[in-house]
Copies of this chain bind each other. A is one copy, B any other.
Amino acid sequence: MNITDVRFAHRFDQVTGSAIRELLKVTAQPGMISFAGGSPSPDALPDDTVAELAEYVMRNDGKRLLQYGATEGYAPFVESLKSYVEDMLGIQVPAVLPVTGSTQAMDLLSKALIDPGDTVLVENPSFLGNLQCLKLYQANLIPVDSDDNGLLINDLEEKIRKYHPKMLYTIPTFQNPSGRTLSDERRKAIAALAEQYGIIVAEDDPYRDLRYEGEVLRSIKYYDQGGWVMYLGSFSKIISPGLRVGYIAGDASVIRKCTIGKQSTDVHTANLNQAIVDQYIRRGLLPDHIRRICRGYGAKMRQMLEYLERFPEGVRFTHPQGGLFIWVEMPEGTDTIQMLKKAVDRKVAYVPGTSFCADGGHLNTLRLNFSNSTPEQIETGMCVLNDIVTEEIM
C-alpha cells in the first residue's frame, strides 16, 4: 500500500491549519506592511538581557537545567511564578503549572476536560489558535454574543441553560481579535454563573499588562469562589514568544489532570526557558520593561486609530485601551477576503475577520495589529487601506 492511502484521525476532519500562520508566510515577503499576525515589536524583545540571563542560569545551575525536570516545573520558577501570579491577581491560587506557552495551557485544559461532542462556549470572534485547539478535541463550539463591554451575560446564561457546556473560553482583557475588554460587573457575573452551573471558565489573559489607557480591572479569577475559573497566563507578550513560557493557575485537581496530560505531551517545559523567566521575575525586571513597551505600543495604537477616524462613513472599529489589535467592521455586503487580495497586491496585509468566528460568516470584518509595524509603516499602510476601503464601499 502507498502512504497516500493513510487514514488520518477524524479530529482533523474540520481542521486544515491556522489561516493566520499560512498568511504569515505570505507577509514575510520583502516590502510587505503586515497588520496581520500578533507578534511583538522587535524593539520590545530584550535580546541582550536574555543573552545575559541565559548564560547566568547555565553557569549557576547548568547541570540541573540540562537534566530531566519535573513535569510540575523547575522548582525555583514554580515558587517565583506563584508569588508573581498571586501578587498580580491579588488572591491566593491553589496551584500553578508552568507550560510551553499559554497555547499549551489551552491544550492541556481541553485534554483534561473535553470529550468529543462536549459543548464549549466561545466569544465571537475569538482567538483562532485556541478555536483550532478546541476543534481538534472535537468540541461543539457555541458562540456567545458580545458588545463593547465584552460577553453579554443574558446571552451567556441562555446558552448555558440550552447547551449545558463543559467550559467557557474567554479572553477578557483587550480581546484577540476584537480589542474589547470585559467590564468589571460582567467579570463578577461570569464567576457567579460558573459556580452556579458548574462550568470551567478558561480565562485567557495574555494581554493584561499591555494597558495604555484606563484603570486596571480585577480578573474573573479574583471573583471565583467555587474554584471553577482557570487562569491562563503568558510571558510571550511581555518578555518573548520565542521562549515559549506560559502558565495555568487555579484548582489543584484540575492542574493535576493537566500535569498528567503534560507528562505524555512534552514531559516538562524546557528548564533553561523556565530559569530565564524566573530570573526576569526575581530581578524585578518586568515592571520597567512593561512600562517601556506600553509607551511604544500605546503610541502606535493611537496612531492607527487616528487613521481609522479618516476612513469613509459606515466603517466602524473598536477603541481598545490596550493589547495588540483593533477590530474593524465594514458595511454589510463587503467581502474582506476579496479585499485582502487587493491589499496584498499593494503590499498591505490584515486578517479577514471570518477566520475568528466559530460560526463562520462575518465577511465584512477584519483584524488589524499595530504592535509589529513602525510608525512609518502604519502611516503608509493605513493610507493604502483607506484607498482600498473607499473604493470598495463607494
Contact = CB atoms under 8 A, between A and B. Distances in A.
B263 A66 contact: no
A264 B51 contact: no
Nearest to A65: B242
A71 to B, nearest CB: 6
B260 A242 contact: no
Contact of A67 (B25, B55, B195, B241): B241
Nearest to A270: B244
Nearest to A59: B51
Given A9-B115, A21-B71, A66-B241, A101 B267 contact: yes
Given A47-B62, A112-B12, A242-B272, A266 B55 contact: no
Nearest to A9: B115
Interface string A186-202: 00000000011110100
Contact of A265 (B15, B65, B107, B113): B107
A64 B269 CA distance: 20
Interface residues of A, number: 94
A110 to B, nearest CB: 8
Interface in A28-70: 37, 39-40, 42, 45-48, 50-52, 54-55, 58-59, 62-70
Given A8-B113, A55-B55, A243-B66, A103 B50 contact: no
A338 interface: no
Contacts of A316: none
Contact of A68 (B7, B65, B69, B242): B242
Interface string A236-278: 1001111110000001011001011101111111111100000
A391 to B, nearest CB: 32
A2 interface: yes
Contact of A69 (B136, B239, B242, B261): B242
A130 interface: yes
A267 B104 CA distance: 8
A100 B254 CA distance: 23
A257 B16 CA distance: 9
A59 B52 CA distance: 9
Contacts of A308: none
A4 interface: yes
A99 to B, nearest CB: 8
A171 to B, nearest CB: 15
For the complex formed by this chain, how many copies does it contain in all? 2
A312 interface: no
A225 to B, nearest CB: 10
Contacts of A266: 100-101, 103-104, 107, 244, 266
B67 A42 contact: yes
Nearest to A99: B266
A77 interface: no
Nearest to A37: B68
Contacts of A253: 3-4, 6
A133 interface: yes
A69 B48 CA distance: 19
Contacts of A104: 265-266
A1 interface: yes
A9 B114 contact: yes
Interface of A: 1-12, 15-18, 21, 25, 37, 39-40, 42, 45-48, 50-52, 54-55, 58-59, 62-71, 100-101, 103-104, 106-107, 111-115, 118, 129-130, 132-133, 136, 166, 195-198, 200, 226-228, 236, 239-244, 251, 253-254, 257, 259-261, 263-273
5 contacts: A3-B251, A6-B200, A9-B118, A103-B267, A243-B270
Give the 5 A-B residue pairs with the shortest CB-CB distance, closest first.
A47-B62, A1-B198, A51-B58, A3-B227, A133-B264
